[in-house]
Amino acid sequence: MNNSVKNQLNPIGEIVTDEGAGLFQVQLYPFYRDGLKMLVSFSHVIVLWWADGHDNPNDRAILTTELPYAPGIEAGVFACRSEYRPNPICITTMPIIDLDLPNGVITLPWIDARDGSPVLDLKPYTPVSDRIRDFRVAPWMQEWPQWMEEAGEYFAQHAVDFGE
């Protein structure tokens, strides 16, 4: 391993969720709130978060997993969005419903993270960097919608318990 790589992460906040109340937020720690300046100019945010419920030697050693959304299909962790990873870094792109700059709170319509999960970073969604016109997906995802705006209805009709 490269000696210049630091083995330290500095969470900038945490996920706040109450699914029953429909509450999904990113809460930044006070020190990092100035970093939200101008994020309100964007419609979507990319949230990088730590799947801390899977931060243990056993889950970090899992390199293949059965896909909950494709029964009978097993894939490597680098070919899926599983929370099982050598480093349990997860990524979610969501619309920004509200941004409370003074309190460091970003309200989202939903996020696939547990309450209290550490937030590692935020990035604005920018089509020039984050959207690809010509792409290929695995056969088990061929029927999935191509756009996030259509995903909610699709997954509601094809309910899968993604549980953590």
- Level-2 CATH architecture, domain 9-51+88-125: Beta Barrel (2.40)
Confidence at residue 72, expressed as pLDDT on a 0 to 100 scale: 92
More confident residue, 131 or 116: 116
Query: Which whole-number Å values give the CA distances from 115 to 19, 33, 58, 119, in the listed order?
Result: 9, 20, 22, 11
Q: What is the pLDDT of residues 23-52, one digit of tens each?
A: 999 999 999 999 999 999 999 999 999 999
As a whole number of angstroms, the distance between CA 97 and CA 138 comes to 31
Task: Choose among 141, 145, 149, 17: nearest CA to 81.
Answer: 141
Residues 58-86 have a mean pLDDT of: 93
- Spatial neighbors of 69 by CB under 8 A, at least 6 apart, are 140, 158, 160, 162
* Domain positions in the chain: 9-51+88-125
Confidence at residue 143, expressed as pLDDT on a 0 to 100 scale: 85
Q: Which H, E and C letters describe 9-47, residue by residue? A: CCCCEEEEEEHHHCEEEEEECHHHHHHHCCHHHCCEEEE
